Chain A
Amino acid sequence: MANMAQAIRLALHYAEKNLELKDVFGQDVGAPMGGVFTATQGLETSWNTPLDERGIVGTAMGIALTGDRCVAEIQFCDYIFNTIDLLKIAGNTYWASYGNFSLPLVLMTPVGAGIRGSVYHSHSFDAWASRLAGWKVVMPSTPKDAYGLLLAAIKDPNPVMFLKPKALMRVRGEELIPGEPDNEKTLKSMIDAPVGDRTGWKANWPQVEDFTCEIGKGKVTRSGTDLTVVTYGRHVLMCNEVADQLKQENGTSVEVIDLMSIYPYDWELIKTSVQKTGRVVFVNEDTEVTNFAEHLSYRVTQELFYELMARPKVVAGKNLPGIGLHAELEEASVPQVADIRKEVIEVLKEIP
């Protein structure tokens, strides 16, 4: 099975061959490195840029104005903040020009903690991104979903932010990407650049096929009837673990929803699940004040109030200025399996 970095690479290869993707660019995105997570190795259209985030975003916007498709990368979302006004403009260009100019671009950036990345390689951006009206924002939790969401993002005529959960970049999936070799060693030998001298190396791409995950649609990763957990990114794996633990321990039935799209989001999936369970916990690792989950929690409260059996809860990163490097500090700053489990049990115990 491909890991997420390989899945992203395969999607970009498919797009440059089949979807007229013209440029994949960013800091260290081109040869020889092919991205700090190797997600852009071996591509024909990838190139290195100056270390200039504003230039990267501005260039993507300009390319998109011409109608050409591009995927730009900000190396870590921790460094995206000096582009925030350009991101606002990218989001409002179609609207402010009254439909005269669309911006079909994809901006991808690694997000979140989980790799001991310290203060400036651990930020999250989902809550910030959810405030950039006009963008679509997606975050996969599996390699196959990364492939499908990225192809959907490249096909989409709007600006799409593709948030890469950096802690999952080396995690392998349980499902093959259509056309992917079923032996991971074979895949590695075909598309992973050798360590050391890469002069003359070329990827031997497998015949991957078209596959998209519809933007705006989530999925249920654990079915359940007692409580709903709504999450995305690496916390899908943690929430699945909590659901599995509780089911095994006492038969508690927790439903886990992988939202996959942060905006637009799959309200029908959330609504149907919460109407069934009456209890809901929202989990992500962005900071807790004005967290995107607060909007979802608000909506649940407004629209499903009389169907709730417990107060909705948001489990998110603490409202700290950064994530400390030491494991004790990092784990105390963003939700861990034990934190999620504790909050889920509390909501399950609440008596209306």
Chain B
Amino acid sequence: MPGRQTPIKQKSKSKTKSGSSGLPLSKNQLVKIYDLMVKSRALEERMIKVYKVGEAYFWIGGPGEEAFGVPLGLLANKGQGVDHDWMHLHYRCSATLIAMGMDFKTPLRLIMNKASDKCTGGRNFSNHYAFPEWNVAPVTSPIGVQYSIAIGTAWAQKRNKGKGVTIVTGGDAGSAEGDFASCLIWASRRGNELPMLITVQNNKWGISTHYDDQHGEDHVSDRAQPFKIRNCVINGNDPIESYIRMEEELQYIRKTGKPVVMETTVSRLYGHSSADGANLREGVDCLKEFESLLLKKDIITEKKVKDIKDNYAKEAKQAQIEVRDELDPVASSVWDHYYVNNESGDWRTF
């Protein structure tokens, strides 16, 4: 699917070099992206197995969104504080975090609700991450709320003249929530525009309801137009297009301090969650397509492909085995972190 952009013309400022393949990214970049996409897929497929063998209560995740998620993670200015990017992700963003450097055990501890789960202490569903060291705001289940909360980190970045931008992700169905409209309004106030990359991963589904039953607009990103927010639709199944377009848009935001709405078309390869089976479905598989391209262009060999896949599948399985034996949370921990500094919130102790 070709990308579409509002008439604001801007030359690509991508510093990446064309390789001998004719592709607009270097061989190293292409292989790195492929490697991380495989790693992310291996993680999600392992987590589905964890659920299906009864070692987790629930799975929800984002297999099929790697071609968007990995470039986002690679391009984010990772770190803590307003000089780094703030990430307001939803629960289909494991690929972004893998690309940012997340290991396998962290998400497995989360889905298996282990005491060692550093994101939630065994309290929340899979892919509900929280990484203060990377400005990754806590992922929460209510749909769309991250679009409202993201306004605040962008405001703080702007007020403090920080170098970072605020990146927020969400689904097409969630864009129906008022928070999305709030985000557009607050990000585009004249003279107070906010440095935000406002993304929507359009997989055409909200649980079981198709996009066409929920929306009248051709593209969710069309809603940016009356606010004069630069906007575009990109092919989120193409990691090369995703990388280049996202790099351009992030450069624009960092330079101007103004927001961009980016809609990405993606596939929901394993359905909504374990609630509807978590079985592989038909649809464009960005990983297969990218793999075919790299093989065809002699960027990668069949053997290398097999090695990468086997190694990550093995690593993910080993992580599950090791995490399985880790301690479960203890009942008394329910009162931990009620208030800061272990101040009690239990009225029985007042």
Contacts and interface: CB of A to CB of B under 8 A. Distances in A.
A58 interface: yes
Contact of A98 (B117, B140, B151, B160): B117
Given A66-B81, A89-B145, A93-B138, 15 more contacts: A23-B159, A50-B182, A50-B189, A58-B149, A59-B148, A59-B151, A59-B152, A59-B155, A61-B148, A63-B153, A65-B86, A97-B119, A98-B123, A157-B339, A265-B350
Given A50-B189, A95-B123, A100-B131, A216 B149 contact: no
B155 A96 contact: no
B124 interface: yes
Given A94-B339, A157-B340, A101 B155 contact: no
A125 B345 CA distance: 20
Interface in B117-141: 117-121, 123-124, 128, 130-132, 137-138, 140
A76 B333 CA distance: 37
A66 B179 contact: no
B341 interface: yes
Interface string B54-94: 00000000000000000000000000011000100000000
Given A101-B138, A133-B345, A264-B350, A54 B119 contact: no
A62 interface: yes
Contact of A158 (B131, B336, B339): B339
A97 B124 CA distance: 9
Contacts of B123: 95-96, 98
A268 B63 CA distance: 54
16 contacts: A50-B186, A55-B148, A58-B148, A60-B152, A61-B152, A62-B137, A66-B82, A66-B156, A93-B140, A96-B130, A98-B120, A98-B121, A101-B130, A264-B344, A264-B345, A299-B347
Interface string B152-186: 11111101100000100000000000110010011
A306 B160 CA distance: 59
A134 interface: yes
A94 B140 CA distance: 12
Given A50-B189, A89-B142, A55 B151 contact: yes
B338 A62 contact: no
A134 B119 contact: no
A215 to B, nearest CB: 10
Nearest to A270: B350
A66 B148 contact: no
Given A52-B182, A54-B178, A264 B149 contact: no
Nearest to A303: B348
A64 interface: yes
Contacts of B166: 62
Given A65-B149, A264-B345, A23 B138 contact: no
A65 B137 contact: yes
B150 interface: yes
Nearest to A130: B347
B119 A100 contact: yes
Contacts of A98: 117-121, 123, 130, 336-337
B345 A58 contact: no
Contacts of B157: 66
B345 A63 contact: no
Interface in A125-182: 133-134, 136, 157-158
A86 B138 contact: no
A290 to B, nearest CB: 15
A230 to B, nearest CB: 14
Contacts of B82: 66
Interface string A29-68: 0000000000000000000011010110111111111101
